[in-house]
Amino acid sequence: AAAVAEAYRPHVNAEPDAFTVSEFCERHRISRTIFYEILKAGTGPTIFKCGAKTLISREAAADWRRAREAASNHGRDTVAAA
């Protein structure tokens, strides 16, 4: 019965619309410490709150990656090596 229910489930995008801090860190292979350091430095992704939970939208994650790539490619990366 579970297999039948799974087959009729509507298609869900494999990428979520928003990531928790832990999900974002895991996906981008950074520690939570680094996440909060870059957030404090002003080079982190745009975040939003949903109750007490901090989330990063899929679009904000993509924007952050592009910004970090551009900064790295222009020698302006401000994140210190850990």
DSSP string, 12-61: --SS-SEEEHHHHHHHHT--HHHHHHHHHHT-S---EEETTEEEEEHHHH
pLDDT of 82 reads: 43
pLDDT of 10 reads: 61
Q: What is the mean pLDDT of each run of 10 residues along the chain (82 residues)?
A: 60 81 97 98 97 97 96 69 46
pLDDT of 9 reads: 60
